[in-house]
Amino acid sequence: MLIDFHTHTDASDGELSPEALLARAVEAGIETFAITDHDTIAGYLRARSRCPQGLALVPGVELSCVWGGTTIHVVGLDFDPEAPAIQSMLTLLGSARQERAVKIAQRLSSRNMPGALEGAQKIAGTSQIGRPHFAKWMAAQGHVADVGAAFDKYLGQGKPGDVKTFWPALGDAVRAITDSGGIAVLAHPLKYKLTRMKLNALCQDFSDSGGRGLEVVNGRQTGDEAVRLRQVAQRFGFWVSLGSDFHRDWQHGPALGVDIAEGGGLPSVWEQVSQ
């Protein structure tokens, strides 16, 4: 059985429309699916009335937050999209993204790249503005060789355009999901490059805040990494979750869909949302 609980559309930083992503999911043979755009449910809302028969579409979102000075992403699944708690959080994050975009543009302008905000916003269109839109603008303007170079030099972790101060705290993001009847899942835990001790501390705080799930597979990763994350899930009593983190077609990127066998037979998120 194939599922995918971490995907993106052009409502945030993905390249496919919600309708096209749904078609891809059906083509891949996925049975249960979530669109988890960054800090918006616009893609899910467009998709839910167009979901093909035979594909179970779960409400989803990927919320940005901060823990210990590090930007953390929390996937919310199976919540009530109209609940006041999630709506308030999405409004807050929408404003935070715009404020962050202004700050990123100011930092780029100080490095001889004026007009970044207007350029990135034009590329984003109606999507939630984010660093990938700035990266595409920088590449198009010839400031960098390509999008990858934009992140390596200016927008990646610890670089001038890596602005974190506008995100809410981890616990606030988790509670917005759980107070809306959903399941909070810690997204791509190894991506934060935390020490073992800090990862354990993050997981403990996440659990204490009401987090219930852990992504043990996210995109392309080694089997050893999946084993390690399943051990973390068992240690903290988390349900395991699986996702591709699909954004676009790319030869080095993941395909849609993950076999539930990757969960190792542990208690899982998909068992909860199917009830």
Q: What is the pLDDT of residues 153-179, one digit of tens each?
A: 999 988 999 887 789 999 999 999 999
At 253, the pLDDT band (50, 70, 90 cuts) reads confident
Q: Tally the domains of the chain.
A: 1
Residue 217 lies inside a defined structural domain of this protein:
yes
Angle between helices 116-124 and 131-140 (to 10 degrees): 110
Return the H-helix or E-strand segment holding 216.
strand 213-218
Q: Is the pLDDT of residue 275 over 70?
A: no
pLDDT at 274 over 80: no
Per the domain annotation, does 178 fall within a domain? yes
pLDDT tens figures, 192-215:
999 999 999 999 999 999 999 999
Q: Is residue 104 part of a domain?
A: no
What average pLDDT does the segment 34-61 reach? 95
**Could you tell me if residue 47 is inside a domain?**
yes
Q: Identify the domain containing residue 224 by its residue range.
A: 2-90+167-273
Q: What is the pLDDT of residues 29-42, one digit of tens each?
A: 999 999 999 999 99
Alpha helices in 50-83 (DSSP H): none
Of 66-70, 80-84, 88-92, the least confident: 66-70
What's 222's domain CATH number? 3.20.20.140
Q: How far is CA 125 from CA 67, 118, 119, 122, in A?
A: 30, 10, 10, 5
Residue 213 backbone dihedrals phi, psi, to 5 degrees = -125, 155
Q: What is the pLDDT of residues 219-234, one digit of tens each?
A: 888 889 999 999 999 9
Q: Is residue 205 a part of any domain in this protein? A: yes
In a domain, 136, yes or no: no
For residue 128, pLDDT over 60 is answered with yes
Q: Tell me the C-alpha distance between 182 and 81, whole Å.
A: 9
pTM over 0.75: yes
Structure tokens at 10: 């052009």
**Residue 111 placed within a domain:** no
Is there a domain that residue 95 lies in?
no
Q: Which long-range contacts (CB under 8 A, 24 or more apart) does 115-122 make?
A: none
User: What is the average pLDDT value for the chain, to the nearest integer?
Assistant: 94
Q: Helices (H), strands (E): how many in the chain?
A: 10, 9
Q: Evaluate whether 202 touches 82 at the Cβ level (below 8 Å).
A: no
Q: Which of 257, 227, 216, 201 is nearest to 68 (CA)?
A: 201
Mean pLDDT of the 112-117 span = 96
